[in-house]
Structure 1
């Protein structure tokens, strides 16, 4: 799925469990943990509470976006320990 077709998601092309995606409705990044009814369940990359997302509002992350999101998560954890 690309950014251009995020609004036209085909139910047959749902992201796979484990895939990192951006929920454009709330501008959050997470991993797909499952599919329940018409929604995807997403969990933050660093763990935490799941949320439901509409499949038409999610898009796959590029490698650069995934690396950036993972780095931001590591930095946030390091600030909490200090």
Structure 2
């Protein structure tokens, strides 16, 4: 079984983080080389963010992201 690649020390899978290049927030899903893969709140296509461009989400950003996830779940059939 292959080991998962290490994440930057300040992040765990499932944490919310912000791509400081464009301000998008996402859940930390995985790491691949120098990149961290983020998924938008509520689902969608993941994107790669260089680990040096990643910052922790503020409590307000986390709250907004969680509201988006709950709202999306409420719209699903």
TM-score past 0.5 threshold: yes
> Equivalent residue of 2:60, what SS?
helix
1:27 aligns with 2:15: no
How is 1:23-62 mapped onto 2 (pairs within 5 angstroms)? 23-62=19-58
TM-score, scaled relative to structure 2: 0.72
What do residues 19-54 of structure 1 show as CA deviations (whole Å, max 9, x unaligned)?
100101121000010010110000001100000001
List, as ranges, runs of 4+ consecutive aligned residues in structure 1 with deviation greater than 3 Å: 74-77
Match of 2:64 in 1: 68
Q: Distance in 2 between matches of 1:38 and 1:52?
A: 9
Q: Extract unaligned runs of 5+ from structure 1.
A: 1-10
Quick check: 2:42–2:70 contact (8 Å CA) kept in 1?
Answer: no
Question: 1:16 deviation in Å?
Answer: 1.2
Q: Extract unaligned runs of 5+ from structure 2.
A: 1-6
TM-score, scaled relative to structure 1: 0.68
